[in-house]
Amino acid sequence: MTLPSRTTATRPAPALPRPRGPVSAALLHALCAAPDPAARIARPPLGDPWGEDLQLALYTCYELHYQGFAEVDPEWEWHPSLLTVRSALEHAFLAAVRQEAGDPPPLARALAGLLADDAGGTGPSHHLLDHGERWQVCEYLAHRSLYHLKEADPQMWVVPRLPNPAKAALVTVQYDEYGAGRPDRAHAQLFAEMMADFGLDPGYGRYLDAVPAPALAVVNLMSLFGLHRSLRGALVGQFAAVEITSPPGAARLAAALERLGASSAGTLFYREHVLADAVHEQLVRRTVIVPLVEGEPSLGPDIAFGMAATTTVEERFGAHVLGCWRHGRSSLRGPVTGIPAPGANS
């Protein structure tokens, strides 16, 4: 596919999504009105903490802290009633994550588990490398676009909550995520170019209505950890889990995309992560986690929990995607213009 001279990671505020149940419907209805300080948002029973309704409602609350929505007054970001609703959603989600993740192992063992060779793994990157089809790659990129078009943003919230030298080390890693001073090398920009290479719309939030709850939960977990100082250790654990496990998966995905016809622009995002995250893994372990735990030993279990929680939501996402693909079904919520139907090869 011939790309324009530069595909930009466009970031205008997206449109509000369509509701997926009574909780998201009540929230979205409120956001369409002016943020009257006396307004109270209705809160129906929350239902399944992993379900479409709660995950979309929580994602919508969090998005007000990022780019917001085109139709929504920015004053809603800190509206007391919205924060009350968000807190209830967060407590339900966090309780579900803790229950499913279980008690984390000691931090040293948790780190060792992340460093273990996953050559025999069964996640989406393995499937795409060995059996993937072009329509599946397009779906995978649509899922991941909700995070990667704002890559590194959730983790920035933890920076002022860390002491030096951990803070300085984490900013060093983040500097690379934002292109090391080169906007054209920012990871969100590279992901946008990869999407365009596969004929997808790189607009920020473009696929929100199509992406199901398991993918929303992955992004919601980062935002949850980032927005709460009490969860700063968990955010460091989440960041470590991503940076440590990324290089092998990125190498598989780069090879899979190249096999399926990607140009150099269509594989650069993952090729960049093979190199960058191999360095970041060392930085996060040795210059973020070690001094942080030495200064605050009580954060060790929180960091281990962040790793376990990240594994939990990623495994849920992988199980959903692979379960659909193995039965020849789309992993998205419905047909999407520009994304090939299951079984299509182009």
Burial class (CB in 10 A: 0-12, 13-18, 19+), 113: middle
Domains present along the chain, CATH in parentheses: 22-99 (no CATH), 105-326 (1.20.910.10)
Say if residues 321 and 140 touch (Cβ distance below 8 Å).
Answer: yes
Say if residues 125 and 252 touch (Cβ distance below 8 Å).
Answer: yes
The three-point CA angle 250-251-253 to 5° equals: 65
Query: Of 168, 161, 147, whose CA–CA distance to 9 is shortest?
Result: 147
C-alpha–C-alpha distance, residues 30 and 61, integer Å: 12
Q: What is the pLDDT of residue 5?
A: 43
Looking at residue 123, its amino acid is G
Q: What is the pLDDT of residue 3?
A: 42
Q: What is the pLDDT along the chain (346 residues), one digit of tens a residue?
A: 334 445 555 567 899 999 999 999 999 999 999 999 888 999 899 999 999 999 999 999 999 999 999 989 999 999 999 999 999 999 999 999 999 999 999 999 999 888 876 766 789 999 999 999 999 999 999 999 999 999 999 999 999 999 999 999 999 989 989 999 999 999 999 999 999 999 999 999 999 999 999 999 999 999 999 999 999 999 999 999 998 888 889 999 999 999 999 999 999 999 988 876 677 778 888 889 999 999 999 999 999 999 999 999 999 999 999 999 999 999 999 999 999 999 876 5
C-alpha–C-alpha distance, residues 57 and 83, integer Å: 12
Q: What is the pLDDT of residue 247?
A: 87
C-alpha–C-alpha distance, residues 346 and 338, integer Å: 11
What six digits make up the tokens of 50? 């992993």
CB atoms within 10 A of CB 128: 23
Q: What is the pLDDT of residue 345?
A: 67
Using CA atoms of 223, 210, 32, 156 in order, give the dihedral in degrees to the nearest 10. 20
3-state DSSP assignment of residue 133: coil
Q: What is the pLDDT of residue 246?
A: 86
